[in-house]
A and B are shown apart, each in its own frame.
Chain A
Amino acid sequence: MSNNTVKTDTTASGIGPVEEAGASPYSADNPAPVIEPPRKRTKKTGRATRGNFELYAWLFMRLSGVVLVVLVIGHLLVQLVLDGGVQKVGFAFVAGRWASPFWQVWDLLMLWLAMLHGTIGLRTIINDYAERANTRVWLKGLLYTATVFTILLGTLVIFTFDPNIR
Chain B
Amino acid sequence: MWSWVAHRVTGVLIFFFLFVHVLDTSLVRVSPEAYDEVVATYKTPLVALLEYGLVAAILFHALNGLRVIAVDFWSKGTRYQKQMLWAVVGVWVVLMIGALYPVLGHAARELFGS
A contacts, CB < 8 Å to B: 62, 65-66, 68-69, 72-73, 76, 80-81, 85-87, 89-92, 94, 111, 114-115, 118-119, 121-122, 125, 146, 150, 153-154, 156-157, 160-162, 165-166
Is the contact region of chain B dominated by helix, strand, or loop, or is it mixed? helix
Question: What are 24 pairs between A and B in contact, CB < 8 Å?
Answer: A62-B68, A65-B62, A65-B69, A81-B103, A85-B102, A86-B42, A86-B43, A86-B48, A86-B106, A89-B42, A90-B32, A91-B35, A94-B35, A118-B14, A119-B15, A121-B8, A122-B15, A125-B8, A150-B19, A150-B22, A154-B22, A157-B26, A157-B29, A161-B29
From B12, B15, B25, B106, give the contact of A157 (CB < 8 A): B25
**Cα distance A96–B26 when bound, in Å?**
16
**Chain B residues with CB below 8 A from A73, complex form:** 58-59, 62
Residue contact A166 to B72, C-beta cutoff 8 Å: no
**Chain B residues with CB below 8 A from A146, complex form:** 19
B contacts, CB < 8 Å to A: 8, 11-12, 14-15, 18-19, 22-23, 25-26, 28-29, 31-32, 35-36, 39, 42-43, 48, 51, 55, 58-59, 62, 65-66, 68-69, 72-73, 99, 102-103, 105-106
